Amino acid sequence: MLAPICLFTYNRPEEVKQTICALKNNFLSKKSKLYIFSDGYKGESDINQVKEVRNLLKNIDGFAEVVVYESDINKGLAESVISGVSMVLKENDSAIVLEDDLLTSRNFLTFMNQAIEFYVNSNNIFSISGYTLDLPGLKTYERDYYFGYRASSWGWATWKDRWNKIDWDVKDYNIILRSPLKQIKFMKGGSDLPYMLWKQMNGKIDSWAIRWCFNQFQSKTYTVFPKKSKIESIGFGASATHTKKTTRFNTLLDDGDQQEFEFEEFDGVDKNLAKQFRNKFSIKNRLLGKIW
């Protein structure tokens, strides 16, 4: 049984075309079920683009089955992802999740499904990421994967039992707010995490991902990343809702044909890779990204 794919779309038809085209090119696309969630428009300026996206979604083939859900209202990305993934996981033990501005390698679904199967009973693994940052240490890294402290929201997967434990209300927020030591530990995945969580809890942003990352921290679990990225984002720019122009997340998309991946049970986080990963989210690099 292959994990179903959840694809979340809004108002960017050109990106949707590229995302679906790349996904169809996957080795396992014809055996995979695809759920697509189309969010409703925010205002008059979005109507035509949302309609164009929905017209595209009516003619998708290349998958075992395609199911499209069109929302009558604008839920926003956070509510769309939480409700959509929750619905799919009611009927499935795992799910692979994508947004409409991500290109996938041909072996993306292959890597994700093999990792899902291998770590299904590993309760110390929180999620599988198809994306990886361009880390210098990966150039000579021998394994097909590595472990990290922070979940990625770009092409990821998880299991029903882990998803159902998430506290989306973040009831433990005051614990970390009052504990500098816990905030420091939270920053193992990046120095931006405590501030992002503060913005979420104070209504400055609406993010499912920061709540997802906080729950991973609280449960002391880890994410599995590929050595070579199976995901490339095409969503940066002025029209993007959640991401603007930056080069910090540029990475090379795996262009190989590898279809067998070797995994091992969790044996610790590589300190060198963890340091390079954190550096991508350092104050210095975040400021340079804004200047750029």
The residue whose two tokens read 């984002």 is 233
* Predicted confidence (pLDDT) at residue 104 exceeds the cutoff of 70: yes
- Nearest by Cα to 2 from 149, 112, 138, 102: 112
How many percent of the chain have pLDDT more than 70?
A: 93
Distance set, CA 150 to CA 66, 84, 132, 225, 287 (Å): 31, 22, 11, 10, 21
Per-residue pLDDT band at 246 (split at 50, 70, 90) = low
Q: Is residue 210 part of a domain?
A: no
Q: Is residue 200 part of a domain?
A: no
Q: Is residue 260 part of a domain?
A: yes
**Joined tokens for residue 291:** 């200047």
Per-residue pLDDT band at 236 (split at 50, 70, 90) = low
Q: Is residue 173 part of a domain?
A: no
- The CATH number for 273's domain is 3.90.550.10
pLDDT tens, 32-55?
999 999 999 999 999 999 999 999
Q: How far, in Å, CA of 84 to CA of 263, rounded?
A: 29
Q: How far, in Å, CA of 259 to CA of 80, rounded?
A: 32
Least confident of 11-15, 168-172, 275-279, 285-289: 285-289
Least confident of 121-130, 190-199, 228-237, 273-282: 228-237
pLDDT tens, 127-161?
999 999 999 999 999 999 999 999 999 999 999 99
Note the pLDDT of residue 235. Answer: 79
Mean pLDDT on 202-218: 97
Q: Is residue 229 part of a domain?
A: yes
Least confident of 120-124, 235-239, 245-249: 235-239
Q: Is residue 135 part of a domain?
A: yes
Cα 30 to chain centroid, rounded: 22
Note the pLDDT of residue 291. Answer: 55
For the chain, the domain total comes to 1
Note the pLDDT of residue 290. Answer: 60
Note the pLDDT of residue 238. Answer: 44
Burial state string for 241-261 with b = 16 or more CB within 10 A and e = fewer than 16: eeeeeeebbebebbeeeeeeb
- Contacts for 47 with CB less than 8 Å, ≥ 6 apart: 41
Per-residue pLDDT band at 242 (split at 50, 70, 90) = very low
Q: Is residue 90 part of a domain?
A: yes
Note the pLDDT of residue 282. Answer: 79
Note the pLDDT of residue 259. Answer: 98
For residue 150, give its domain range: 5-167+221-291
Q: Is residue 134 part of a domain?
A: yes
Q: What mean pLDDT, rounded, does the chain reach?
A: 93
